[in-house]
């Protein structure tokens, strides 16, 4: 009960913090328009060259898949790695360790709150714009679409937070986590379908996207494909598996990290 | 008669309030280990089997603090004071020894203890920089499981006590350092902690802000019986705030005594001011053990090294050299006393 109230308060406070800083929303919007918008224009051209369909996938489906990736990325969950690293580097970890909270839960709620405002604004407005421009994918009319999309979105959020927390926690051992962060982040970007829609992946890359935690964080991008109708339970199951596995790893790593705390100076 | 009095004494003894120990530290040690690169050794060996260096930051220290005490825990840089404070507040794990804070073990009862203590780290902020201070206070209220009514009441109380109202609606990042530190302390007192640990709370503050913060801490100590455990390099904090001083150096507890006794017990030098009838014209060489602190036509201040010459002999020698109208003999300041203790160790 206390945990939920605290998580809500953190998210609300961060939400408010973002509203105080409207420039951040502008930056996020420009970033999404620049990256997602340009890719959508390019893919529109490529799909047109191929009579509107590639590998059985229509442009509308590919566009929505890519939009889901970019909308999800606005949550900036991956920045939890840097937040943990900064806590360790600056010593602010000591402030949080002396409070009656779970450090990681606090950081996770904080991260969700940080990106929520931009996500809601860009997600809703972007979805409306995309619907007006290209229409809805056929799969969106399916009964399971909305409930499974919500489940896979929530699991994707948890999985992303766990995955990037592990990288962040490495800061307790190594000074600079950025090279590891960069490698993992690029794996998530590629396997999540930011450059190429997942349906157009070669078989072995698709297998990587399917069975690795990097790809599993972005299963939201799979929900618009017709294969989702038959594979959703497998993919959600895969996400649950990775949540349990990474949750256990985070727990073990954090227990060891706590012993490594050495804050210099007063 | 004697027999008749005995039971009264015994009864008195039973009803005497026992001094409540807030902090009990016994044989506490902390050792840090870290790898070091060995020159002339291959990078692979340095990576896989580096040389491990050990640093004993805190070495078997023991002390206790009673409820309501105001304790200064001081020492030079690298003495081990911050490490100790971090072990007392569950941030660091001790290598050996035991700690009890309010009857709890910080290593195993971290969350339980966190509800009863407050922390202020002078160089680090716990407030939300973009939001007004009240948002941070409300946030801490929720963190400490206070009800909404309790939070509202406490925010009003603290805002009045710490005079936060004049800047309560401004984002924290726009506050002056003095205002921010007042807000930091207020935030750490949100849940009415029984002990507050302050790590250099007045660092960087101007004299007015320092005084204001010290006065507030004394007030909180008097009104809410909050035990204060403070580390600082500022002698003013120790003199005006703490009734007891513990000195640590190189991880070892050097001194533990009432602050007032510090200057009395560890007097190594005395100052003698000489005021001339008209003006001093010359400043001759002084006898062994006496040196000039300041040379002025209207006043000379000399420093007497008590290891080499007594005050009586120094005074006699000075009166032989100078024609004076007035003399003032006084102790060295606390800063000099502390410096001597650090240097002697």
Neighbours of A190 (CB within 10 A): 18
The C-alpha angle with vertex A74 and arms to A73 and A75, in degrees rounded to 5, equals 85
Higher-pLDDT residue of A189, A263: A189
Contact A92 B124 (CB under 8 A): yes
The rounded distance, in Å, linking the Cα atoms of A184 and A188 is 6
**Residue A211: in which H helix or E strand, if any?**
helix A203-211
The rounded distance, in Å, linking the Cα atoms of A193 and A170 is 27
Percent of chain B with pLDDT over 90: 43
Nearest-neighbour CA in chain B from A263: distance (Å): 8
Across B206-217, average pLDDT = 85
Q: Is the pLDDT score of B4 beyond 60? A: no
Contact B142 A5 (CB under 8 A): yes
Across A164-179, average pLDDT = 90
Residues of A in contact with B123 (CB under 8 A): 91, 265-266
Asked if B109 has any chain A CB less than 8 Å from its own CB, the reply is: no
Give whichever of A25-29, A54-58, A155-159 has the largest mean pLDDT. A155-159
* B94 touches B107 (CB < 8 A): yes
Nearest-neighbour CA in chain A from B314: distance (Å): 42
Domain B267-344, what architecture? Answer: 2-Layer Sandwich (3.30)
Nearest-neighbour CA in chain B from A7: distance (Å): 9
Residue A56 lies in a domain: yes
Q: Is the pLDDT score of A207 beyond 60? A: yes
Confidence of residue B10 (pLDDT cuts 50, 70, 90): very low
Which residue of chain A comes nearest to B79, CA vs CA? A265
- Of the candidates A182, A179, A176, which has an alpha carbon nearest to the alpha carbon of residue A85? A176
Percent of chain A with pLDDT over 70: 98
pLDDT digits over A114-127, tens only?
A: 888 888 988 898 89
Q: Is the pLDDT score of B9 beyond 70? A: no
Confidence of residue B18 (pLDDT cuts 50, 70, 90): low
- With tokens 């960087």, the residue in question is B204
Q: Is the pLDDT score of A36 beyond 90? A: no
Higher-pLDDT residue of B236, B244: B244
pLDDT digits over B313-332, tens only?
A: 999 999 999 999 999 988 77
N-terminal to C-terminal alpha carbon distance within chain B: 54
Asked if B221 has any chain A CB less than 8 Å from its own CB, the reply is: no
Give me the pLDDT at residue B1, please. Answer: 36
CA A93, A96, A101, A104 dihedral sign is: negative
Residues of A in contact with B82 (CB under 8 A): 263-266
Q: What's the distance, CA B69 to chain centroid? A: 12
Confidence of residue A50 (pLDDT cuts 50, 70, 90): confident
HEC profile for B90-133? CCCCCCEEEEEECCECCCCCHHHHHCCEEEEECCCCCCCCCCEH
- Of the candidates B81, B62, B72, which has an alpha carbon nearest to the alpha carbon of residue B23? B62
The rounded distance, in Å, linking the Cα atoms of B306 and B289 is 8
Across A210-219, average pLDDT = 90
Give me the pLDDT at residue A263, please. Answer: 55
Asked if B82 has any chain A CB less than 8 Å from its own CB, the reply is: yes
**Residue A58: in which H helix or E strand, if any?**
strand A57-58
Asked if B115 has any chain A CB less than 8 Å from its own CB, the reply is: yes
Asked if B110 has any chain A CB less than 8 Å from its own CB, the reply is: yes
- With tokens 């009862």, the residue in question is B109
Residue in B124, B150, B190 to test binding to A, most A beta-carbons within 10 Å: B124
Across B193-218, average pLDDT = 87
Asked if B124 has any chain A CB less than 8 Å from its own CB, the reply is: yes
Which residue of chain A comes nearest to B131, CA vs CA? A17
HEC profile for chain B? CHHHHHHHHHHHHHHCCCCCEEEEEEEEEEEEEEEECCCCCCHHHHHHCCEEEEEEEEEEEEEEEECCCEEEEECCCCCCHHHHHHHHCCCCCCCEEEEEECCECCCCCHHHHHCCEEEEECCCCCCCCCCEHHHHHHHHHHHCCCCHHHHHHHHHHHHHHCCCHHHCCCEHHHCCHHHHHHHHHHHHCCCCCCEEEEECCCCCCCHHHHHHHHHHHHHHHHHHCCEEEEECCCHHHHHHHCCEEEEEECCEEEEEEEHHHHHHHCCCEEEEEEECCCCCCCCCCCCCCEEEEEECCCCEEEEEECCCCCHHHHHHHHHHHCCCCEEEEEECCHHHHHHHHHHHC
Q: Is the pLDDT score of B85 beyond 60? A: yes
Higher-pLDDT residue of A161, B53: A161
Nearest-neighbour CA in chain B from A74: distance (Å): 20
Give me the pLDDT at residue B235, please. Answer: 81
Average pLDDT taken over every residue of chain B: 85
Alpha helices, H only, A50-102: 59-73, 80-90, 93-97
* Three-state secondary structure call for residue A53: strand
Average pLDDT taken over every residue of chain A: 88
Question: Can you state the angle between helices B148-161 and B177-188, rounded to 10 degrees?
Answer: 140
The rounded distance, in Å, linking the Cα atoms of B275 and B271 is 13
Asked if B234 has any chain A CB less than 8 Å from its own CB, the reply is: no
Contact A9 B122 (CB under 8 A): no
Beta bridge partners of B71: B229, B244
Confidence of residue A262 (pLDDT cuts 50, 70, 90): low
Count of domains observed in chain A = 1
* A87 touches A43 (CB < 8 A): no
Q: Which residues contact B186 (CB under 8 A, 6 or more apart)?
A: B133, B137, B158, B159, B161, B162, B164
Contact B128 A91 (CB under 8 A): no
Give me the pLDDT at residue B19, please. Answer: 67
Residue in B142, B195, B198, B234 to test binding to A, most A beta-carbons within 10 Å: B142
* B129 touches B172 (CB < 8 A): yes
Given phi > 0 = left and psi -120 to 50 = alpha, else beta, which region is B40? Answer: left
Residue in A91, A99, A256, A259 to test binding to B, most B beta-carbons within 10 Å: A99
Nearest-neighbour CA in chain A from B279: distance (Å): 48
**How many CB pairs below 8 A link A and B?**
83
Tokens read off for B62: 């023991």
pLDDT digits over B96-151, tens only?
A: 999 999 999 998 898 899 999 999 887 788 898 888 999 999 999 999 999 999 99
Across A248-262, average pLDDT = 88
Q: Is the pLDDT score of B12 beyond 50? A: no
Burial of A108 (0-12, 13-18, 19+ CB in 10 A): buried
* B88 touches B99 (CB < 8 A): yes
Contact B90 A97 (CB under 8 A): yes
- With tokens 């039973």, the residue in question is B14
Give me the pLDDT at residue B260, please. Answer: 83
Contact A100 B131 (CB under 8 A): no
Residue in B57, B91, B122 to test binding to A, most A beta-carbons within 10 Å: B91
Domain ranges within chain B, ordered by starting residue:
267-344
Nearest-neighbour CA in chain A from B113: distance (Å): 8
Pairing between β-strand B244-249 and β-strand B70-74 as defined by DSSP bridges: parallel
Question: Residue B143: which of A92, A94, A99 has the nearest Cβ?
Answer: A99
Contact B114 A258 (CB under 8 A): no
The rounded distance, in Å, linking the Cα atoms of B292 and B272 is 10
Q: Which residues contact B113 (CB under 8 A, 6 or more apart)?
A: B89, B90, B101, B102, B104, B106
Q: Is the pLDDT score of B234 beyond 50? A: yes
The rounded distance, in Å, linking the Cα atoms of B30 and B195 is 22
Q: Is the pLDDT score of B225 beyond 60? A: yes
Residues of B in contact with A6 (CB under 8 A): 142-143
Across B172-184, average pLDDT = 88
Asked if B76 has any chain A CB less than 8 Å from its own CB, the reply is: no
Contact B32 A262 (CB under 8 A): yes
pLDDT digits over B284-319, tens only?
A: 999 999 999 899 999 999 999 888 899 999 999 999
Q: Is the pLDDT score of B2 beyond 50? A: no
Q: Is the pLDDT score of B46 beyond 80? A: no
Give whichever of A1-5, B30-34, B189-193 has the largest mean pLDDT. B189-193
**Domain housing A80:** 2-259
Asked if B114 has any chain A CB less than 8 Å from its own CB, the reply is: yes
Neighbours of A87 (CB within 10 A): 20
Does the predicted interface ipTM exceed a cut of 0.85? no
Which residue of chain B comes nearest to A265, CA vs CA? B82
């Amino acid at each position: 009960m206390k945990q939920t109230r605290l998580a809500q308060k953190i998210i609300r406070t961060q939400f408010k913090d973002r509203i105080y800083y409207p420039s951040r929303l502008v930056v996020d919007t420009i970033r999404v328009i620049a990256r997602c918008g340009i890719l959508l224009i390019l893919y529109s051209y490529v799909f047109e060259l191929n009579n509107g369909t590639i590998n059985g996938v229509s442009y509308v489906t590919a566009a929505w898949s890519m939009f889901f990736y970019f909308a999800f990325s606005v949550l900036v969950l991956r920045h939890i790695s840097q937040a943990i690293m900064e806590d360790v580097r600056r010593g602010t970890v000591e402030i949080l360790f002396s409070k009656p909270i779970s450090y990681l839960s606090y950081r996770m709620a904080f991260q969700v709150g940080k990106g929520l405002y931009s996500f809601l604004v860009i997600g809703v407005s972007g979805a409306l714009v995309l619907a007006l421009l290209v229409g809805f994918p056929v799969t969106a009319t399916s009964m399971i679409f909305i409930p499974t999309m919500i489940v896979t979105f929530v699991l994707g959020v948890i999985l992303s937070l766990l995955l990037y927390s592990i990288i962040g926690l490495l800061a307790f051992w190594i000074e600079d986590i950025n090279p590891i962060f960069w490698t993992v982040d690029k794996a998530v970007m590629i396997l999540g379908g930011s450059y190429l829609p997942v349906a157009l992946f070669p078989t072995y890359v698709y297998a990587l996207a399917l069975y690795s935690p990097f790809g599993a964080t972005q299963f939201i991008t799979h929900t618009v494909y017709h294969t989702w109708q038959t594979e959703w339970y497998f993919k959600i199951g895969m996400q649950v598996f990775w949540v349990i596995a990474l949750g256990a790893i985070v727990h073990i790593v954090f227990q060891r990290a706590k012993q490594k705390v050495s804050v210099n100076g007063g | 008669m004697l027999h008749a009095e005995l039971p009264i004494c015994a009864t008195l003894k039973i009803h005497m309030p026992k001094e409540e120990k807030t902090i009990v530290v016994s044989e506490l040690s902390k050792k840090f280990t870290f790898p070091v690169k060995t020159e002339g050794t291959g990078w692979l060996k340095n990576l896989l089997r580096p040389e491990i260096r050990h640093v004993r930051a805190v070495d078997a220290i023991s002390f206790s603090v009673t409820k309501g005490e105001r304790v200064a825990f001081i020492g030079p840089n690298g003495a081990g004071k911050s490490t100790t404070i971090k072990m007392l507040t569950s941030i660091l794990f001790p290598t050996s020894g035991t700690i009890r804070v309010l009857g709890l073990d910080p290593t195993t009862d971290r969350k339980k203890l966190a509800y009863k203590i407050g922390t202020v780290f002078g160089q680090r902020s716990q407030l939300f920089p973009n939001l007004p201070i009240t948002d941070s206070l409300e946030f801490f209220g929720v963190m400490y499981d206070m009800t909404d009514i309790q939070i509202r009441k406490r925010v009003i109380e603290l805002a009045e006590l710490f005079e936060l109202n004049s800047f309560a609606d401004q984002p924290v990042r726009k506050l002056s350092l003095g205002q921010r530190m007042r807000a930091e302390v207020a935030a750490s007192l949100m849940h009415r902690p029984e002990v507050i640990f302050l790590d250099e709370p007045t660092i960087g503050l101007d004299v007015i802000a320092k005084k204001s913060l010290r006065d507030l801490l004394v007030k909180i100590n008097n009104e809410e019986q909050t035990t204060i455990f403070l580390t600082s390099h500022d002698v003013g904090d120790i003199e005006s705030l703490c009734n007891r001083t513990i000195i640590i150096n190189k991880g070892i507890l050097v001194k533990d005594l009432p602050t007032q006794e510090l200057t009395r017990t560890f007097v190594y030098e005395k100052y003698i001011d000489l005021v001339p009838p008209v003006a001093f014209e010359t400043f001759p060489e002084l006898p062994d053990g006496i040196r000039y602190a300041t040379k002025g036509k209207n006043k000379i201040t000399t420093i007497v090294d008590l290891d080499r010459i007594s005050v009586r002999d120094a005074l006699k020698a000075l009166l032989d050299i100078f024609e004076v109208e007035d003399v003032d003999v006084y102790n060295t300041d606390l800063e000099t006393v502390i410096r001597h203790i650090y240097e002697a160790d």
